[in-house]
Structure 1
Amino acid sequence: MADAGDREGRDARRESGPPLSIAYSPCPNDTFVFHAWAHGLVPDAPAPEVTFADIDITNGLAERGEGDLLKVSYAVLPWVLDTYTLLPCGGALGRGCGPLVLAPGPMEPASLAGKSVAVPGERSTAYLLFRLWAAARVPGGIGEVRVMPFHEIMPAVRDGRVDAGLVIHEARFTYPRFGLHQLADMGEFWEETTGHPIPLGAIIAKRSLGAERLRQVTAAIRASVRHAWADPAASQDYVLRHAQEMDPAVADAHIGLYVNEFTAELGEAGYAAVRELLTRAADEGLVPRVPEERLRPSDV
């Protein structure tokens, strides 16, 4: 579980303005990206006060308007963009990195009709992709959906407490250890049907910070990403300390998959993917429709 009381960054050596409250997950991609900023290695950056929390918790924080800067699911954006703006860097979006549907043994997607499936949150991007996939691949629809912390899902599937599970993060690499089988890859479904990369985790910041502060935050994230790439060894202790006893090789694979060119700059391809996800979801009645002007940040 994430340590919600674990705060770092108070000793930032160079700061600009009052500290910012920041919440992101203890997963390797987030700790890798934010290591330099959290440890005062980004000159003139705002001092961060970091809280570690799993994505379902940060989604809830965003919906309540708590926290200056948060790592959240893209799926939660329709509910929070009046309060927060989507930043063009720091998030997780890519190819070949989608959530997986796992089962105890080989089975066809249609066999999930009426069955129970564990998911890591109903406002998660993984769940949104799953709902779009199920609408196309599971005639008759899923039965019971059970929300669980992501690290509890594979044991629940293995032990027969649910019929299948939707998994994220390092589970892409570790599910064979639980004797589980991949039923479907949400990323493959998304890429095959849209051609877009997969939007997973977004970085959002409060609009009330103002344009100048938002520019400082965006610059700090970009600098932190560049520092991480320039000196990967510098963040290794920080990454592994928060990676829930993850094997170093798995942590490296996790970073390699989820930290990529879209982390440095969302760009037109990234925004197009996010628009497609939210538009398709709105067409299915899964989320409120998001006006284009609310999605794109200004002057950051």
Structure 2
Amino acid sequence: MADEELPAQRRPLNISYSPCPNDTFVFHAWAHGLVPAAPAVEVGFADIDITNGLAERGEGDILKVSYAVLPWVLDEYALLPCGGALGRGCGPLVLAPGPLEPAALAGKSVAVPGERSTAYLLFRLWAAARVPGGVGEVRVMPFHEIMPAVRDGRVDAGLVIHEARFTYPRFGLHQLADLGEFWEGTTGHPIPLGAIIAKRSLGEERLRAVIESIRASVRRAWADPAASQDYVLEHAQEMDPAVADAHIGLYVNEFTADLGEAGYAAVRELLTRAADEGLVPRVPEARLASLSPR
């Protein structure tokens, strides 16, 4: 029997997340059938700009997306309280070919990894405060193409995420701004980066099973980090095990297991500030926190 012919409660769930080390580390156990009683899943890999688009089109049961895309998708998807990336000292960076002051970006071209990424929201909030007159052209690129574009002079600066935080000196680039430092210094909150969402139409019972499966997968990953190493390195853009370990150490933390009050407060702050700037639609509080199906 084809999957589409199976009863809804028996059909494997499809889940899409990035090939980055934090995601493969978190979901390794569940993806490999190592979480007892967890729903079966079919895994797809895609960068965050792709999964954001999937969410906006309503394609996929479970997705890793940018917190920035939530205002457009929360009617159909519920924000899950675990599995995502939120923390301190882990923000996106603005890079340039040489040492610059932020004001020097006025009217300049900047490469970004997606206009509905959390990194881009943070960049827009930072630029509004630090770049008089604003930047010039914004070019969307896959994140792994941004540093070469800055190095080669195709853009004046780049907004980078993921393991680029650790590897940008190899490209001879300079850090112009740490948007995590800007965010934390301005708000006191941790930085909301990537969220896990699931279709509300799965129903509350299945949504709760998904949450418990993610948390169990995280616990297994922490209990036996070596078990996921091959899976992590197989999919990572940066194959150096030391870089992968640093990436995991930075992005997989207590908020991955449970957003908690501090995590939800950070998400509300980000989306409220972005709405105040006219960057995103305003999100009703009940829609952000609700896990109930429609």
So what's the TM-score if we normalise by structure 2?
A: 0.95
CA contact (8 A) 2:68 2:271 kept: yes
Within the alignment, does 1:275 sit opposite 2:271 as a pair? no
**Runs of 4+ in structure 1 over 4 Å off:** 8-14
Q: Is the 8 A contact 2:238 2:244 kept in 1?
A: no
Contact 1:100 1:167 in 2 (8 A): yes
Q: Matched residues in 2 for 1:210 and 1:13: separation?
A: 10
User: Counterparts of 2:228 and 2:266 in 1: how far apart (Å)?
Assistant: 30
Query: Aligned partners of 1:11 and 1:168: how far apart in 2?
Result: 40
Is the Cα–Cα contact under 8 Å of residues 84 and 194 in structure 2 kept in the other structure? yes
Q: Retained in 2: the 8 A contact 1:122–1:147?
A: yes
Q: Distance in 2 between matches of 1:146 and 1:244?
A: 21
* 1:134–1:142 CA contact under 8 A, matched in 2: yes
Q: 1:34 to 1:11 in 2, by over 3 A?
A: farther
Residues 39 and 216 of structure 1: is their aligned pair in 2 closer, same or farther, counting only changes over 3 Å?
Answer: same
Given the superposition, is the C-alpha separation of residues 285 and 31 from structure 1 closer, same or farther in structure 2, using an over 3 Å criterion? same
Assess if the C-alpha contact under 8 Å between 1:106 and 1:181 holds in 2: yes
Distance 1:180 1:28, change over 3 A: same
**Deviation string, structure 1 residues 31-57 (Cα, Å, up to 9, x no partner):** 000000000000000001000000000
The number of residues matched between the two structures is 287
Compute the TM-score of the two structures, normalised by the length of structure 1. 0.93
Q: Distance in 2 between matches of 1:13 and 1:277?
A: 35
Kindly provide the CA deviation profile for residues 131-181 of structure 1, in whole angstroms up to 9, marking residues without a partner as x. 000000000100000000000000000000000000000000000000000
Task: Give per-residue Cα distances to partners, 1:90-115, cap 9 Å, x unaligned.
Answer: 00000000000000000000000000
Structure 2 Cα separation of the partners of residues 137 and 89 of structure 1: 33
Shift of 1:246: 1.9
Distance 1:169 1:175, change over 3 A: same
Unaligned runs of at least 5 residues, structure 1? 1-7
Select 1:216's aligned residue among 200, 203, 209. Answer: 209
Matched-pair contact (CA < 8 Å) for 2:202–2:293: no
Cα distance in structure 2, aligned partners of 1:219 and 1:244: 29
Asked if the contact 1:11–1:40 (Cα under 8 Å) also holds between the matched residues in 2, the reply is no
Indicate the residue corresponding to 1:62 in structure 2.
55
Distance in 1 separating the partners of 2:95 and 2:9: 45
Q: Is the 8 A contact 1:119 1:148 kept in 2?
A: yes
Separation in 2, partners of 1:55, 1:9? 30
Q: Is the 8 A contact 1:23 1:70 kept in 2?
A: yes
The structure 2 residue matched to 1:256, chosen from 249, 257, 261, is 249
Q: Is the 8 A contact 1:12 1:41 kept in 2?
A: no
For residues 38-89 of structure 1, give each alpha carbon's deviation from its aligned partner in whole angstroms, at most 9, with x where no partner exists: 0000000000100000000000000000000000000000000000000000
Change (3 A) 1:245 1:64: same
Between the aligned partners of 1:12 and 1:175, the Cα distance in structure 2 is 46
Assess, with a 3 A threshold, how the Cα gap between structure 1 residues 13 and 40 changes in structure 2: closer, same or farther.
Answer: farther
Distance 1:98 1:280, change over 3 A: same
Q: Give distance in 1, aligned partners of 2:151 and 2:190.
A: 30
Tell me, in whole angstroms, the C-alpha distance in 1 between the residues paired with 2:255 and 2:162. 17
Checking the alignment, whether the CA contact within 8 Å between 2:82 and 2:215 is kept in structure 1 is yes
Q: Over aligned residues, Cα RMSD in angstroms?
A: 2.8
Structure 2 segments unaligned to the other structure (5+ residues): none
- Cα offset, 1:13, TM superposition: 17
SS in 2 for 1:288: coil
Give deviations 1:241-290, integer Å, cap 9, x for gaps.
00135200000000000000000000000000000000000000000000
Does the 8 Å contact 2:65/2:196 carry over to 1?
A: yes
2:190 and 2:266 in contact (8 A); partners too = yes
